[in-house]
Amino acid sequence: MSDQRKFFVGGNWKMNGDKAGIDAIISFMKGPLSPNTEVAVGCPQCYLMYTREHLPENIGVAAQNCYKVSKGAFTGEISPAMIKDLGCKWVILGHSERRNVFNESDQLISEKVGHALEAGLKVIACIGEKLEEREGNRTEEVVFAQMKALLPNISDWSRVVIAYEPVWAIGTGKTASPEQAQDVHAKLRQWLRDNVNAQVADSTRIIYGGSVTPANCQELAKTGDIDGFLVGGASLKPDFVQIINARD
């Protein structure tokens, strides 16, 4: 991992939690956490303000989604401006569940990323292939197409973290081996070199998501192109601190 890429660990709570549960998470998130890791947690939108007000300031808070415009007749959606108004600086976009459960297209996700960046948020942009795509040797084709769709709308790469999440490894207990994950991360970095520029390729953090646990996080963290993790269920438990500290 390059010295210019600070290790990044995001927790994605998904549709889980209540105030009592969040209080428990806040309790263990007091650490100690590695000063060498940047940390952000993605919480349900109704708890964004509660979480931001109660978590230590050095931990970022992310919305799990947002829409592509600042306001309007879009019932049930939230905008980057609203997220910022609550004191939160991050948003997760393009998560596989948004793509595959809610049928969000590459184009819509790209437009959301573009607007979130324009509004001043930092973005965790998720990409990844399904099991049948992996088994059909289409991993590169799929993730490169997802990256290509994002490209026109990314105005500031310094505020983007790419999360590679093989869909077949999310919440399944299956984890890409360190070799499998590193291979895709290295190819994504080369894609950035070829399609954006060398500086972006060297500085953009590419994190891994997919059944990351305290048992496998250190081995994954040792590879050259895995710059951190996006963690689902494990981020609700005290063991999350071990994942945050995986490189110490």
Q: Identify whether 95 is a catalytic site residue.
A: yes
**Tokens at residue 16, please?**
């889980």
Residues in the chain: 248
Instruction: Please identify which of the residues 38, 95, 97, 129 carries the catalytic annotation.
Output: 95
Instruction: Please identify which of the residues 129, 133, 165, 185 carries the catalytic annotation.
Output: 165
Q: Cβ neighbours of residue 198 under 8 Å, at least 6 residues apart? A: none
Q: Which of 82, 84, 63, 69 is nearest to 15 (CA)?
A: 63
How many alpha carbons fall within 13 Å on the CB side of residue 24?
11
Q: Where are the beta strands (DSSP E) in the chain?
A: 7-12, 37-43, 59-63, 90-93, 122-127, 160-164, 205-208, 228-231
CA separation, residue 10 to residues 19, 131, 155, 208 (Å): 20, 23, 22, 10
Q: Identify whether 185 is a catalytic site residue.
A: no
Question: At CA 41, angle to CA 40 and CA 42, rounded to 5?
Answer: 125
Give CA–CA dist 74/245, Å, rounded.
40
Q: What does the DSSP 8-state code read for residue 196?
A: T
- Classified as helix, coil or strand, 159 is helix
Q: Cβ neighbours of residue 73 under 8 Å, at least 6 residues apart? A: none
Active centre residues (catalytic) = 95, 165
